Amino acid sequence: MALDISKDFENVCNDFHTTATLRVDGSDTSLSAVLNTPYEIKELDPTNAQVIRKGTLFVWSKDRSTAPPIGSIIIDRDGVYWTIWRYDNKHHVHCWRAFALNLNILTADANQATVLVGQYGKGDAGEAKVTWYGYWSGTAGGEAEDTVEAWFQPSEEQSRLEFGADTSRETYRVYFEAATAPDDLAGGEYRLVDSDGYRYRVIRYHKENQIASLPVAICERVTEGQEWHHRIGYSGS
């Protein structure tokens, strides 16, 4: 008589089962018997514990689904989305064992960025003039819909002497929770604005589309010119 182990996992682990949904290319499969356990919670990068990488191990019987492709989504019973970044075929117990990640920025009022895009024209005297609008709303200065989850991480500050005056260059790494910023974010036509109103020029933008990392922009804080004076309520000419 052939040995049938297809139901052993569900029978033995019945007391610890939960439910989940497996999403593959937009198609959902209900998983009614899943064993899950956290295997890792850590800071993704040095970010003052604001950008967190969480990992959970999900195990379920092969009878419940076909092999899950890398990058598939598991939605747990609490509605949290996890991305499968590797899995094992545990053929001796007739199960899939998937290691899934959830990368997130802690929810806080300060952990957000407004994306602005500039429209260039000329002032009354024929000088170059730029007006900043919300990237999605098109409203001057931006609206709530132009705000995305982000963390501004101070990276480096350099002092320099220019035209006989001391100035500083403040560099930041800005982490985005999702790849929602424009692909060509780096360059003079865009600005990021933090929750305190400071503006940032984007020097480089890394949108790597990796499961285990978040998009990040390398930025310089604007500390001079009209944008800076506007930030601090300057009313001079």
Question: The domain that contains 192 carries what CATH number?
Answer: 2.40.10
Query: CA-to-CA distance for 147 and 192, rounded, in angstroms?
Result: 10
Question: Residue 15's pLDDT is what?
Answer: 58
End position of a domain, from candidates 67, 89, 105 = 105
What confidence tier does 110 reach under pLDDT thresholds 50, 70, 90?
confident
- 3-state secondary structure (DSSP) of residue 230: helix
Residues forming beta bridges with residue 225, ordered by sequence position: none
Reference 166, options 157, 174, 175, 179; nearest CA is 157
Do 138 and 173 share a domain, yes or no? yes
Output the pLDDT for position 171.
Answer: 93
Q: Decide if 3 is inside a domain.
A: no
Query: What pLDDT score does 221 carry?
Result: 92
**End position of a domain, from candidates 105, 131, 162:** 105
pLDDT higher than threshold 80 for residue 157: no
> Is residue 43 located within the same domain as residue 58?
yes
221 located within any domain = yes
More confident residue, 126 or 87: 87
Do 140 and 98 lie in a common domain?
no
Amino acid at 70: I
pLDDT (mean) for 74-95? 90
Residue written as token pair 């990058």 = 71
Distance CA(30)–CA(60), nearest Å, equals 11
Q: Could you tell me if 92 and 135 lie in one domain? A: no
Best CA proximity match to 174, nearest among 137, 197, 142, 148: 148
Q: Please report the pLDDT score of residue 234 as a whole number.
A: 37
Structural domain range at position 30: 8-105
When the pLDDT of each residue in the chain is averaged and rounded to a whole number, the result is: 84
* Other CB atoms within 10 Å distance of the CB of residue 157: 11
CA 194 to chain centre: 16
Claim to verify: residue 150 and residue 222 sit in the same structural domain: yes
Q: pTM of the predicted model, to two decimals?
A: 0.78
| Least-confidence region, from 106-115, 164-173, 225-234 | 225-234
pLDDT band at 114 (very low <50, low <70, confident <90, very high): very high
Residue 100 scores a pLDDT above 90:
yes
Residue 166 binned pLDDT confidence (cut-offs 50, 70, 90): low
Q: Is the pLDDT of residue 183 over 90?
A: no
In the block, tokens 């560099």 appear at 171
Which of 56, 80, 105 is the C-terminal boundary of a domain?
A: 105
